[in-house]
Structure 1
Amino acid sequence: MADAIVAGATGRHALALRCRRITDSGWFSTVVFTAILANAAVLGLETYAGLVTRWHDLLNLAEHGFLTVFAAELALRALAHADRPGDFFRDPWNLFDLAVVLLAVLPVTRDNATALRLLRLARVLRAARFLPQLRVIIVAVGKSLPGTVSFVLVGALLLYVYAMVGWVFFADADPEHYGSIGRAALTLFLLMTLDGLGDAVRAGLEISRWSILYFASYVLLSSFVLVNLLIGVVIQSLEEAHRSEARRERSAAASPQDDGAQDDTALVHERIAAARAALDDLEEQLAARRPGARN
């Protein structure tokens, strides 16, 4: 029993090691990246109705070919974690690839042309896996989402307060822009980009000289303070993404050492099993030599 367990663990490790050497090689990344670019080119060609009509069978064959290549890539990456299956599902890129490939072969998705096109377009995003700088930006965008949500909430609160103030003071004189809370919020949202600020200030000065304080404070808070806060959130997320990428590269560099340690562990298990078998043989020989033992 112990020999079977050790043999199974050794076989899985050997298989994972061979597949890992393939997936970590430069030629493998080049082939997959080339397939992603070719898939993107084919998607672009399919936007021309004349080409689709003329080369329908060829384009359909190319689609099945790309799906086969991506499925084979996913299978190799999964086998590269045969000795540690949980590590495969801890990588977000593996989960993304798995979702893209599996959803593309489901009957529900294949019968929906729009969903199928979106899934095929999602394959292009997989190019980020092979471009470290683009991967850092995508990770940074994901890390900045919590801060962005807080920014949106603060911005919505500021917009609501100033819209109410604008409705109170300018609704009667300028109902087109401040006649309701919705119109006032839309006007101020456009002013947040500083588009038409000069016309808005001149119109406000015709109503009251004190309106300059209203517009100046709003522009200061919305266009300068809030925008700088958002930039700070993005920069912090980029720094965190760079640190995560650096840790990932260090882990990848340390993986050959881990493989060596696992080889030593497997060798130790084999020697333990051999020692147990030798002890069993020795006990049988000693039992056979005892007085009164049957020959």
Structure 2
Amino acid sequence: MPVHSGWGEPSARRLLAHRCREITEARWFAVAVMSLILVNAVLLGLETYSGFAAEWHQALRLAEHLCLAGFTVEILLRFGAHADRPRDFFRDPWNLFDLAVVACAFLPVVSENTTLLRLLRLARVLRTARFLPQLRVLMVAVARSLPGTLSFLLVGALLLYVYAMVGWLFFHESDPAHFGSLGRALLTLLLLMTLDGLGDAVHGGLAYSRWTLLYYGAYVLMASFVLVNVLIGVVINSLEEAKELEQQEEREQQEGLEQGGQAGHELPELRQRIVAARQALDDLEQSLPDPQVQLADGGRR
């Protein structure tokens, strides 16, 4: 009985995924997409020059449509590469990001709003991280360091508030320009965290009391050295974790390719064994006597 294989059949989906995967995994494809992203970034920069944008408005608009068409073809090819396993496409965060960036450009609300459209086009520049492993690791490290960074911000905000209140209590009369209110004190200490204007602040405090050296010294030690080093440690730790994740994903992909290759070699051997077993069964059936003939012989006897 003939079997008609349509595009919904597993064999057709595997063939489509294989063809698309050959394209998306090729080096020229990555170079082409990377070049398209850079062209999109250049076009976005050229539009900031009003004279040039007014003179070449039609050409810039056509180039933008061509870039959008190229990105659409790219995301369709990437989705086609997962035709045999569509769920894996949506498990990859980069695929979801690419899909959102491309799909939002077709929404009427976005296409009619120039500001949103330019922000969306600017987001395409971030897609360079997909083709630059080091930048991808850095972005993953920044994302993983967010919980630690939030804790750092809470501790830093508490430290600023305490020192700002102490500074206001002691210096609001002698130095109202820097400590006249809580807001000014917070701004002054935030700048002092970068050691900007520390000399002027110390000289102004010495005119009031020598004990101000203790105040500024303790604050600079805590804010500029201890907290900043803690933040650097959090980021470095996240960077190491991101590198380990990247290496683990590469190992898993390599193992998957090796297992796929082994399965591809074992499949013909399995088919040969099945064919040989079927042939042996056929030979065994032919060698056995026919039951109807044995019944007939027994009746005659």
Q: Shorter-chain-normalised TM-score: which range?
A: 0.7 to 0.9
Q: Alpha carbons of 1:261 and 1:68: their partners in 2 closer, same or farther (altered >3 Å)? A: farther
Distance 1:38 1:268 in 2: 50
The offset of 1:191, in angstroms, is: 0.8
Q: What's 1:181 paired with?
A: 182
Deviations 1:144-199 (A, max 9, x none): 11111111100000000111111122222222222222121111111111111111
Superposed, 1:218-229 pairs within 5 Å as: 218-229=219-230
Which has the higher relative contact order, 1 or 2, with Cα contacts under 8 A spaced 6 or more apart? 1
Please tell me whether residue 119 in structure 1 is matched to residue 105 in structure 2: no
Distance 1:210 1:203 in 2: 12
Q: What's 1:29 paired with?
A: 30
Please tell me whether residue 66 in structure 1 is matched to residue 59 in structure 2: no
The one-letter amino acid of 2:193's match is: M
Distance 2:59 2:99 in 1: 26
The offset of 1:205, in angstroms, is: 1.6
The alignment yields a C-alpha RMSD, in angstroms, of 3.1
Deviations 1:122-155 (A, max 9, x none): 1111111111111111111111111111111000
The offset of 1:31, in angstroms, is: 1.0
Distance 1:59 1:266 in 2: 53
Report the secondary structure of 1:208's partner residue: coil
What is the TM-score of this pair, normalised by structure 2? 0.84
The offset of 1:265, in angstroms, is: 9.5
The offset of 1:250, in angstroms, is: 2.1
Deviates more, 1:35-44 or 1:45-54: 45-54
Distance 1:85 1:261 in 2: 23
How high is the sequence identity, in percent, across the aligned residues? 59
The one-letter amino acid of 1:176's match is: A
CA contact (8 A) 1:40 1:121 kept: yes
CA contact (8 A) 1:10 1:266 kept: no
**How many correspondences in the alignment?**
283
Q: Alpha carbons of 1:168 and 1:290: their partners in 2 closer, same or farther (altered >3 Å)? A: farther
Q: Alpha carbons of 1:267 and 1:118: their partners in 2 closer, same or farther (altered >3 Å)? A: farther
CA contact (8 A) 1:17 1:259 kept: no
Q: Extract unaligned runs of 5+ from structure 1.
A: 279-288
Distance 1:50 1:290 in 2: 98
Distance 1:54 1:66 in 2: 20
Q: What's 2:194 paired with?
A: 193
Q: Alpha carbons of 1:86 and 1:263: their partners in 2 closer, same or farther (altered >3 Å)? A: farther
Q: What's 1:51 paired with?
A: 52
Moved over 4 A (4+): 2-5, 261-271
Deviations 1:230-264 (A, max 9, x none): 11011111111111221222233334334446757
Q: What's 1:281 paired with?
A: none
The one-letter amino acid of 2:236's match is: I
